[in-house]
Amino acid sequence: MHNSIDRITAVHSLGFHNFHGPESGEFVFPDGETPPTEEAIQAEIIRLQSDYDAKKYQRDRNYPDIGEQLDMLWHAIDNGEILGDKSCDFFKTLKKVKDDNPKPE
């Protein structure tokens, strides 16, 4: 999945929040406010897209709901399994998610 960062998101990220548009390809800013340059907007789009792309592995990690994780943990404790013993469902389930979606180097 590839998210495309739009110009409005980039302008907001640059700290501009009180504007209209883009109408006819141009943003309209309040009187007296110096709008960002197109170069600044494009650089911010690239920066935001790079940050988004770098965190793909985080979005791909589909951990069980926290309630389900806690339930597995409780059962592991209740069954006398030691958390250091990596055979409990709690550890194996989370380990599989981590192994299937490694953090990029």
SS3 readout for 33-84: CCCCCHHHHHHHHHHHHHHHHHCHHHHHCCCCCHHHHHHHHHHHHHCCCCCC
Between residues 27 and 93, which one has the greater pLDDT? 93
Between residues 79 and 83, which one has the greater pLDDT? 79
**Model confidence band, residue 1 (pLDDT cutoffs 50, 70, 90):** very low
Collapse the DSSP code of 23 into the 3-class scheme (helix H, G, I; strand E, B; otherwise coil) and give the result.
strand
Q: Which of 60, 49, 15 is nearest to 33 (CA)?
A: 15
66-87: average pLDDT: 81
64-83: average pLDDT: 83
9-36: average pLDDT: 81
Domain ranges of the chain: 7-54, 66-100
How many residues are given for the chain?
Answer: 105
pTM of the model: 0.60
Residue 39 has pLDDT above 90, yes or no: yes
